[in-house]
Structure 1
Amino acid sequence: MNKKYHLFDVYGIELEYMLVHQSDLKIAPIVDTLLTKKNGKLTSDITNGKIAWSNELVAHVVELKTNGPTKNINGLAELFHKNITEINTLLNPLQTKLLPTAAHPFMNPRTDTQLWKHSYSEVYELYNRIFDCKNHGWSNVQSVHINLPFFDDKEFEKLHAAIRIILPLIPGLSASSPILEGKITGFKDTRLEYYKTNQKEIPEMAGLVIPERVFTKLDYYATIFEPIKKAIKPFDTHNILDHHFLNSRGAIARFDRNAIEIRLVDIQECPKADIAICALIIEVLKLLVNKKLSPLAIQKRWVKEDLFLILDDAIKNAETSVVNNLDYLNMFDIEHSTNIQNIWKHLYALAKPNIHKSHYPAIETILNEGTLATRIEKTIGKDCSNENIKKVYTNLAECLQNNSLFSK
């Protein structure tokens, strides 16, 4: 977003998917082959009309994103889906296909991880040297990123305040990673459980996941970017890492394009669900930014530690996580302890008039039947055999191909 936009003028959405073998669903590190097939020669970014494709840190993950800022998210589910079916058509002769959800259910990162070996690879190699990327927190994570613009410090203040408030509730809407290495982990959002600690070698990078109380560009640099730069210096001897990318909080300010990127959303079973979640989050943020829920001064008061406590429980329990902090609940006009599912139902009722009706079925499936993680767990039941997990995830791959919701 090089041109500056005002709050909610435009949006940028990014979706990440795994490439897997059709027969056994094992990961297929051939994104370079896919991009070469599409483009005629290897390139790390491909423009395909309104959607762009690109590689990621690991060789089995492809990212689809809006090609620049878009004014309207309502047609995006169909646009993304069109690109997904095109990719699956290209992959079919290679006996490979795309797989959704935020974590592969039986990947072994120690043996299965292959880093991207082409453009930008020196950055990935450096990351690998510092953090050892052959673990779930780096090589087995697929998410949705929501990019929202701000024009100046005044708009940044409102947007950052609102986003910080909403971050703890996101796993209760989007958790989709309940299984790792063939076992139910006990965390509905295992991706975020790893996200908390995957950069423990340099804790300045992710902080407490919830960003600090900073509401101007100057403060952000002093409080977040400068400590990151200082901490990375001994490792980044050739100065190749950018502080914008090193900041790994759950929402990061991109002053290079005047946007904040929300990173806590797990990818779902199909774009219809992803875009519906984005639409709901965006409309609730608008309510917060426009002070329809609580004054800016109250939103800004929240320290990261208190918000993290709510997030941390949501990572484990998703929509069934109970929030007892009445000061937090009062911001949404809720007067008693309740679970995150009920908080989202309440927020959805408030935001619904501003959400396009095409998103209602997906949102209501999630709010009534539970997060995708919950639906996956229920479907698997007590049978965690490889065969049963494979059956469920084959079904999820079909949901992706058909742009249909996964229902228990």
Structure 2
Amino acid sequence: MNNRLGLFQGFGVEMEYMIVDRDNLQVKPISDEVLKAEAGELTSDVERGDMAWSNELVLHVLELKTNGPAPCLSALSEKFYNEVQRVNQLLARHNAMLLPTGAHPFMNPYHETKLWPHESSEIYQAYNKVFDCQGHGWSNLQSTHLNLPFANDEEFGRLHAAIRLVLPLIPALSAASPVLDGQVTGFLDSRLEVYRKNQQKIPLIAGEVVPEAVFSEQAYQEQIFLPMFKAIAPYDPEGILQEEFLNSRGAITRFSRGAIEIRIIDNQECPLADIAIVSLVTEVLKRMVGEEWASYAEQQQVETSWLASVFLQSVKNGPETEITQPSYLRMLGMEEDTATLKQVWQHLWQEVKASGEFTDELSCGVEIMLNQGCLSQRLLKALGENPGQEALEKVYRQLADCLAHNKLFEA
């Protein structure tokens, strides 16, 4: 246990991308072909130095990730971009390419879902048996995950307390899925709206998405893991799913790895945008863990149900969400009694931008998001309120281009 990384000593980042046809943007279930082409054999994982690729639940999604913890975040924009270019090179022979964002705008998941059929498929089959993994909440949701380490129980508690407070703010930065089934949904983060409901058969698996106020491994086992495993046991007699990975909260703790994984960030239009978001979130968490604006004891007191209500508003309205609880704003270092999430993030950015963790490119990325809105807002500006198929294809083709050149989308 002692050789574990301490707080903010390493960073694990994962980004999920859709594979689509270059001509019509329809999903192409060929992630196994890509992995095979790179590895020279059929496999679920490819290691490429300090980066890696792996399969996901469905065949039209590929995950790119750091191969173990990276020492700093700022260098990762370029590293992920190199991987994107290599995958696109391999996809070219299939007339395919990677498409970014949190959800495919017109995929029909009931007809087009193909589950990963190879290695580890028994886990996917077990999920499919219980939940039927057709539908957007399973087969059409691409995210960027941030893994942050902790060395012991004390560090876990402090990190978990800070993450709980920041979680509801994140969709206002990262919402990137305003369209499903070819329609504007009314939610800036449609991916999170379907994600939070995809296991409602067993509500304890995702809880209120914002994790419960637990600050030790023992409390986590007793209040989160054990009730969840008990609830799924009748549907999972072999015990295949009764592991840490079953937890679907917006931040999940993996005690086996000594890390908390933040899972609610929509995949953005390019790695530069993703790394800008995870860098900003990380710098804010550092301040909170350092008790700069509120003590650890105060952070522990904030009610999960209230945080969850802010999260739900944030999923729908993003930066326009209003916070009307002054005590919470104080915990973020704000004097105001009310503020929109846009104002909250502008304030937090002013607090952390001089930290030295942001390259000029990353700073520029953050400024675009704060000034022009989250990607969903920029997309809606480009699409209009009722876009047809032609408009969707045109704008999402531009997003594929943003990914291919690692540049942000500006409406």
TM-score by length of 1: 0.98
Which residue pairs with 1:357 in the alignment?
359
Q: Does 1:31 align with 2:69?
A: no
Q: Deviations over 1:106-165 (max 9, x none)?
A: 001100111000011111011011111101111000001100001111101100000000
Name the CA distance, whole Å, in 1 between partners of 2:281 and 2:328: 17
Q: Does 1:168 align with 2:168?
A: yes
Structure 1 residue 383: deviation in Å? 4.7
Which residue pairs with 2:43 in the alignment?
43
Secondary structure, aligned partner of 1:234: helix
Report the AA paired with residue 185 of structure 2: T
Name the CA distance, whole Å, in 2 between partners of 1:283 and 1:293: 13
Which residue pairs with 1:246 in the alignment?
246
Name the CA distance, whole Å, in 2 between partners of 1:242 and 1:350: 41
Secondary structure, aligned partner of 1:15: strand
Report the AA paired with residue 37 of structure 1: A
- Matches for 1:6-405 after TM superposition, within 5 Å: 6-334=6-334, 335-354=336-355, 355-358=357-360, 359-405=362-408
Name the CA distance, whole Å, in 2 between partners of 1:17 and 1:272: 14
Structure 1 residue 382: deviation in Å? 3.5
Q: Deviations over 1:178-231 (max 9, x none)?
A: 000110000000011111111101111000001001000000000000001101
Structure 1 residue 320: deviation in Å? 1.1
Shifted more, 331-340 versus 5-14: the winner is: 331-340
Name the CA distance, whole Å, in 2 between partners of 1:331 and 1:282: 16
Q: Deviations over 1:306-327 (max 9, x none)?
A: 1011100000001111111222
Shifted more, 188-197 versus 329-338: the winner is: 329-338
Structure 1 residue 2: deviation in Å? 10
Report the AA paired with residue 393 of structure 2: K
Q: Do the aligned residues in 2 keep the contact of 1:102 with 1:176 (CA within 8 Å)? A: yes
Secondary structure, aligned partner of 1:47: strand
Report the AA paired with residue 290 of structure 2: N
Secondary structure, aligned partner of 2:407: coil
Structure 1 residue 20: deviation in Å? 0.3
Secondary structure, aligned partner of 1:78: helix
Report the AA paired with residue 358 of structure 2: H
Name the CA distance, whole Å, in 1 between partners of 2:41 and 2:152: 41
Q: How many residues in Structure 1 have an aligned counterpart in Structure 2? A: 408
- Report runs of 4+ in structure 1 exceeding 3 Å deviation: none
Report the AA paired with residue 357 of structure 1: T
Q: Do the aligned residues in 1 keep the contact of 2:184 with 2:386 (CA within 8 Å)? A: no
Q: Deviations over 1:321-358 (max 9, x none)?
A: 11112221121232221110110000010011113233
Shifted more, 228-237 versus 278-287: the winner is: 228-237
Q: Deviations over 1:256-297 (max 9, x none)?
A: 000000001111000000001010000000000001111111
Structure 1 residue 243: deviation in Å? 2.3
Q: Residues 7 and 112 of structure 1: is their aligned pair in 2 closer, same or farther, counting only changes over 3 Å?
A: same
TM-score by length of 2: 0.98
Report the AA paired with residue 352 of structure 1: K
Report the AA paired with residue 158 of structure 1: R
Q: Do the aligned residues in 2 keep the contact of 1:8 with 1:148 (CA within 8 Å)? A: yes
Secondary structure, aligned partner of 1:126: helix
Name the CA distance, whole Å, in 1 between partners of 2:291 and 2:92: 50
Name the CA distance, whole Å, in 2 between partners of 1:357 and 1:396: 23
Name the CA distance, whole Å, in 2 between partners of 1:16 and 1:225: 26
Secondary structure, aligned partner of 1:233: helix
Name the CA distance, whole Å, in 2 between partners of 1:396 and 1:287: 33
Secondary structure, aligned partner of 2:163: helix
Report the AA paired with residue 13 of structure 1: V
Name the CA distance, whole Å, in 2 between partners of 1:390 and 1:2: 51
Name the CA distance, whole Å, in 2 between partners of 1:388 and 1:357: 34
Q: Do the aligned residues in 2 keep the contact of 1:319 with 1:341 (CA within 8 Å)? A: yes
Report the AA paired with residue 337 of structure 2: H
Structure 1 residue 390: deviation in Å? 0.3
Structure 1 residue 56: deviation in Å? 0.2
Q: Do the aligned residues in 1 keep the contact of 2:74 with 2:359 (CA within 8 Å)? A: no
Q: Residues 3 and 194 of structure 1: is their aligned pair in 2 closer, same or farther, counting only changes over 3 Å?
A: farther
Name the CA distance, whole Å, in 2 between partners of 1:383 and 1:366: 23
Q: Do the aligned residues in 1 keep the contact of 2:170 with 2:264 (CA within 8 Å)? A: yes
Alignment RMSD, CA only? 1.1
Q: Do the aligned residues in 2 keep the contact of 1:2 with 1:258 (CA within 8 Å)? A: no
Report the AA paired with residue 371 of structure 2: N
